Structure 1
């Protein structure tokens, strides 16, 4: 019975170390929610340009453990120009995202190196760097005046499903006074954010779980070495206790 208790305790400690290290190094909670804060949120808020009558509700933001800022622009829905296709698309989106059909696009800002990430036509990834003169370097091309005050990147809606671009789009207007707040856990769950960010979470998770595995293995190697040297036996602790009592007696004398 005692042996089973020790095995159960060993398994529990391994599980605790593995998940604690994995979650801490990723910066994610169990649900994938990013709970961190940054003093640079207002400094880097993107400026949104969209078509008249298709303005977003607002921006929800999250911050990862490294201080990188995720700005999620929220629209009521995506509207395709064909009514039948639009209704079918609306139906399947509601199935995928737990009953809601909000459209959410992300602009990620990496303040440490002034880089920007977003998705453009056909969900193509865009990585750009903000230059000291306020321009952006994207795929070897310089985009002039792509920021305001050198930090607020200007993004333009270029498709019906709100894909974004750094180059100005004819017919778009700047959205003024767009409300912004930190994404809560309730927002994260109700908007189906885990499904929307699985790719991002997957990339972080691979690295974090690798670190967790290495730390867990190191713990077990240390534990095994201690066991081989007799440090984990009851006899060792009995002798250690006796030595401590002897030392205390000598100190008192």
Structure 2
């Protein structure tokens, strides 16, 4: 029978290793909030074109551990042009996002390799790449979109649906919206229900890091199992290890004294 204190130590080590590896490798907090900063945030901010009577209230940004830039374009609400559907949909979003009814679309930019990502019709993905002449390569369509950036870094995005899906293609009836931008604070993150929103948007918020944490934890437990099977965890073996450590420490002190 394993003593309770050793069982408690084992559980504590599992918890510590899992979260230490997961959080250290990702740079995220436990909830997925990304506190990083980058001098490139304003250089790569997207330019939003939308209907003049349906403007966003601003852009919040976060920066992850690897330097990727996340721009969250925030609308106060979504309007289907039917008051009953609008109210029902608002109730649904409030339930899903913990009371938050704002609409948020994300544009992700990797300034190191010149790529970007957002979602368009039917929540399908748009992956693109900045080209040196100010155009963009739309990878899913293998199509070059001319003049899709300003200064080669500010991507132009256009709203194309009532729920603010985005497109690289200019849209009639939209115009450029000059929007305030600032870092998303922890209070913003909680109030907007961002953890629930980002689980699909940014692939589960550090999923890769959590998988790495699982692997590290399993490896630790595998090592512990092999150690136990070989008898290294018995009191006799522990005594031998303790005596070896004490003997090594004694010899080290004697060597230090002898060198003086």
Normalised to the residue count of structure 1, the TM-score between the two structures is 0.90
> Relative to structure 1, is the Cα distance of residues 247 and 187 closer, same or farther in structure 2, using a 3 angstrom cutoff?
closer
- Report how far residue 202 of structure 1 moved: 4.5
Determine the C-alpha separation between the residues in 2 that align with 1:136 and 1:217: 43
8 Å CA contact 1:26–1:205 kept in 2: the answer is yes
8 Å CA contact 1:62–1:182 kept in 2: the answer is yes
> Relative to structure 1, is the Cα distance of residues 124 and 249 closer, same or farther in structure 2, using a 3 angstrom cutoff?
closer
- Structure 1 match to 2:163: 161
- Structure 2 match to 1:106: 106
> Relative to structure 1, is the Cα distance of residues 238 and 71 closer, same or farther in structure 2, using a 3 angstrom cutoff?
same
> Relative to structure 1, is the Cα distance of residues 111 and 245 closer, same or farther in structure 2, using a 3 angstrom cutoff?
same
Structure 1 portions without partners, runs of 5+: none
Determine the C-alpha separation between the residues in 1 that align with 2:87 and 2:225: 61
Post-superposition Cα deviations, 1:209-248, rounded to whole Å, max 9, x if no partner, equal 3311222233345556666485961232124313432443
- SS in structure 2 at match of 1:53: coil
The equivalences for 1:120-159 within 5 A come to 120-138=120-138, 139-159=141-161
- Structure 2 match to 1:252: 257
- Report how far residue 29 of structure 1 moved: 1.2
- Structure 1 match to 2:220: 219
8 Å CA contact 1:68–1:110 kept in 2: the answer is yes
Determine the C-alpha separation between the residues in 1 that align with 2:124 and 2:161: 12
Post-superposition Cα deviations, 1:60-119, rounded to whole Å, max 9, x if no partner, equal 001111111110000110011122212221222222222221111111101121111111
Structure 2 portions without partners, runs of 5+: none
8 Å CA contact 2:71–2:107 kept in 1: the answer is yes
- SS in structure 2 at match of 1:70: strand
- SS in structure 2 at match of 1:197: helix
- Structure 1 match to 2:80: 80
> Relative to structure 1, is the Cα distance of residues 141 and 201 closer, same or farther in structure 2, using a 3 angstrom cutoff?
closer
Runs of 4+, deviation exceeding 6 Å? none
- Structure 2 match to 1:198: 199
Post-superposition Cα deviations, 1:152-173, rounded to whole Å, max 9, x if no partner, equal 0011111111111111111111
- Structure 1 match to 2:60: 60
